[in-house]
Amino acid sequence: MWFTRRIEHCQVCGTPVEQKVPEGDNRDRAVCPGCGHVHYVNPLNVVGTLPVWEDQVLLCRRNIEPRKGFWTLPAGFMELGETTEEGAGRETDEEAGARIEMQGLYCVLNVVSAGQVHFFYRARLLDTEFAPGPETIEARLFREDEIPWDELAFRTVRMTLQRYFEERQTGQFGVYCADIR
């Protein structure tokens, strides 16, 4: 696994930490030799939506790195104090300025190499008025045959869209879970 978020100094007292297995644990952690605080580094949650208007999906062209200029579903990091669904709605508003009605959890994708878990919710667009925020160059609706597949920012977006277009044929939508290593 190539991804690590390494803690160098104690977040409690500022002392340089040591990497060791704390008593009763089973893996290396950042442990402060000064105050004894054990720092845990856990996966980050990315939350977003798959907004739909009739036979079209809403994509946003990124105005930030990574993958600036590429297309994505509206999504971003979950904030403390919000649920995954609330965060997905907030990100959709921030990135696309889109008004939506949530339709349930759709994908849970474990991106092990990036230390992330991506949650996508199906959403129905309430109208086609968009007001993209500063992280988005443009927000636009695409039919399946118009999706810029070679210009999608992330594998999780590709997987979510492919699954949606397959299931849209039957109108039966389940919750899709997958691991990306």
Check whether 2 has a pLDDT greater than 50: no
pLDDT tens digits for 132-179? 999 999 999 999 999 999 999 999 999 999 999 999 999 999 999 999
Q: Could you identify the residue written with the tokens 């990036």? A: 114
pLDDT tens digits for 89-142? 999 999 999 999 999 999 999 999 999 999 999 999 999 999 999 999 999 999
* Per-residue model confidence (pLDDT) at position 5: 73
Contacts of 52 (CB under 8 A, 6+ apart): 58, 122, 123, 124, 125
Check whether 6 has a pLDDT greater than 90: no
Q: Is it true that domain 1-41 has CATH number 2.20.70.10?
A: yes
* Per-residue model confidence (pLDDT) at position 3: 53
Alpha-carbon span 84 to 5, nearest angstrom: 22
pLDDT tens digits for 24-83? 999 999 999 999 999 998 999 999 999 999 999 999 999 999 999 999 999 999 999 999
Residue type for position 127: D
Alpha-carbon span 117 to 178, nearest angstrom: 10
44-180 belongs to which CATH class? alpha beta
- 134 prior amide bond cis, ω within 30: no
Domain range summary for the chain, segments of one domain joined by +: 1-41, 44-180
For 58-117, the three-class secondary structure string (H helix, E strand, C coil) is EEEEECCCCCCCCEECCEEECCCCCCHHHHHHHHHHHHHCCCEEEEEEEEEEEEHHHCEE
Alpha-carbon span 6 to 165, nearest angstrom: 39
Contacts of 171 (CB under 8 A, 6+ apart): none
